[in-house]
């Protein structure tokens, strides 16, 4: 039977509406793609012991799916595996199995709880020996590829975790430990990487585990929305001391790890100062993380005085100059580190840096003067200057700097909203034209039927 014109119209509108939805989703995906997650091998290690009720295990799967939804899944981007454990361990999803987000999420929804004991140490050992093996799809160890394990558990393990977790961390696996309900907090701390404040999370029940989704989406987000020239201006005065200077170098490399370093994206330069100023390397000399981090590690400690004003003048006059590798039209970010009061005047150079459009961050440790940090930093100063009394606490500052360098608010939004809106508008315009064309054809059919 031939459908009536009105029914035919409904069918056409339904089909075109579905196509419009696809167009909008495609636009959203393209927009989201402006901010890629850095290449990472991620393995979720999920407790499904008998203490985890079936409904609670469903909530864990929703949490996994939402974290995966925010990742840039692909063979050359982020690979995801899932290990399910109770008294035994089951490799539910290998790093090599699913290369698309949709395939991964579908596989996660099919995981069933094992409902026996809680052998968390056994699960970590399995992840280390099997899930993170090349045979299961893990990539060869590289400074450019992160290895991450996310453990979700709600109880006290029936085996030991301390030694095997240490072995996993020594193998280069970053471990996040999420505890639920009556979990043993000391066990979480034995498993997690340092700093514990960043790697241990607790929620009261599985019903609120989804609130951790944003944290993990941000944790794996690398800034790839735009090109950036970043210059570190590092205090190498005698008050820093050699052992702390090594911590400063590790801190610099921690920030470099969060950047999307390449020819077309982030370039990094390094300047050290004390009584004099020394350019360690200019922007653009190293365009991959390994070479950059190696160069930072080789930086020799200068000692002597603290001429922060002279160093800022060097930054303004030289570091962001095209003759020193700076790129015209690219965002400029200066990160100043100091541990004490400047022995010269900083005001004029600090003001000029900001007038030139450089985004300035000021990081102080120990005897650093907070008024000087505020004078150096861009507005709003609360978001651009950081202070800690202890060099060992600098990892917290590195994390905050990574987020702010990404962009102002949400590290995975960038300028996506504007571009997404444009894509949606284009899709809707295309849909309108299709509807107009289809309406004319239906009118012709109606005339023929009459």
pLDDT at 127 (0 to 100) = 97
The span from the CA of 188 to the CA of 179, in Å, is 7
pLDDT at 188 (0 to 100) = 96
Instruction: Record the tokens describing residue 294, joined without a space.
Output: 């190696």
- Residue 323 β-bridge partners: none
> Distances in Å between the alpha carbon of 195 and those of 39, 174, 342, 392, 395?
22, 11, 30, 10, 7
How deeply is 159 buried, as exposed, middle or buried, from its count of CB atoms within 10 A (0-12, 13-18, 19+)? middle
Q: What angle do CA 346, 408, 386 make, to 5 degrees?
A: 40
Instruction: Record the tokens describing residue 29, joined without a space.
Output: 């995906």
pLDDT at 406 (0 to 100) = 52
Q: What is the mean pLDDT of each run of 10 residues along the chain (450 residues)?
A: 39 37 36 56 96 94 91 88 97 92 93 96 97 95 84 94 96 94 94 88 90 78 68 89 88 85 90 93 92 94 90 93 85 88 88 89 83 88 79 65 50 46 58 69 70
> Distances in Å between the alpha carbon of 19 and those of 13, 28, 50, 422, 436?
10, 14, 44, 18, 15
Taking alpha carbons only, the member of 66, 94, 90 closest to residue 80 is: 94
Asked if residue 119 lies in contact with residue 85, where contact means CB atoms within 8 angstroms, the answer is yes
pLDDT at 141 (0 to 100) = 81
pLDDT at 364 (0 to 100) = 85
Biggest distance spanned by C-alpha atoms of the chain? 96
How does pLDDT run across 214-255, given as a tens digit for each residue?
A: 788 767 765 544 688 999 999 888 888 888 899 889 889 888
pLDDT at 21 (0 to 100) = 36
């Amino acid at each position: 039977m031939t459908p009536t014109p009105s029914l035919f119209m409904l069918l056409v509108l339904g089909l075109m509406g579905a196509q419009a939805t696809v167009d909008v989703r495609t636009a959203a995906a393209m927009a989201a793609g402006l901010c890629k997650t850095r290449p990472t091998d991620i393995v979720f290690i999920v407790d499904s012991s008998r203490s985890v009720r079936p409904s609670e295990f469903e909530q864990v799967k929703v949490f996994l799916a939402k974290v995966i939804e925010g990742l840039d899944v692909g063979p050359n981007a982020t690979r995801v595996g899932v290990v399910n454990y109770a008294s035994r361990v089951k490799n539910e999803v290998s790093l090599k199995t699913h290369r698309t987000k949709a395939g991964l999420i579908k596989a996660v929804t099919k995981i069933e709880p094992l409902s026996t004991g809680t052998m968390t140490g056994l699960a970590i050992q399995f992840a280390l020996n099997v899930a993170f093996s090349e045979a299961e799809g893990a990539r060869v160890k590289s400074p450019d590829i992160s290895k991450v394990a996310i453990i979700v558990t709600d109880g006290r393990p029936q085996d030991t975790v301390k030694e095997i977790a240490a072995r996993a961390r020594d193998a280069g696996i970053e471990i996040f430990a999420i505890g639920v309900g009556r979990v043993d907090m000391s066990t979480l701390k034995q498993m997690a990487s340092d700093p514990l404040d960043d790697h241990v999370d607790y929620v009261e029940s599985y019903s609120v585990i989804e609130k951790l989704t944003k944290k993990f989406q941000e944790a794996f987000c690398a800034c790839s929305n735009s090109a950036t020239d970043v210059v570190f201006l590092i205090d190498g005065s005698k008050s820093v001391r050699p052992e702390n200077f090594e911590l400063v170098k590790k801190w610099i490399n921690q920030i470099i790890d969060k950047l999307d370093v390449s020819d077309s994206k982030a370039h990094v330069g390094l300047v050290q100062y004390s009584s004099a100023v020394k350019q360690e390397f200019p922007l653009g000399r190293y365009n991959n993380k390994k070479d950059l981090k190696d160069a930072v590690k080789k930086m020799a400690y200068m000692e002597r005085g603290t001429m922060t004003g002279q160093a800022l003048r060097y930054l303004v006059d030289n570091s962001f100059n095209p003759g020193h590798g700076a790129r015209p039209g690219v965002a400029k970010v200066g990160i100043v580190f100091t541990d004490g009061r400047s022995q010269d005047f900083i005001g004029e150079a600090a003001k000029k840096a900001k007038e030139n459009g450089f985004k300035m961050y000021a990081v102080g440790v120990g005897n650093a003067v907070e008024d000087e940090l505020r004078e150096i930093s861009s507005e709003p100063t609360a978001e651009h200057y950081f202070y800690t009394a202890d060099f060992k606490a600098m990892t917290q500052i590195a994390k905050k700097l990574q987020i702010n360098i990404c962009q102002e608010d949400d590290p995975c939004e960038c300028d996506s909203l504007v571009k997404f809106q444009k894509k949606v508008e284009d899709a809707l315009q295309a849909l309108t034209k299709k509807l107009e064309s289809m309406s004319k054809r239906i009118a012709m059919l109606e005339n023929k039927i009459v």
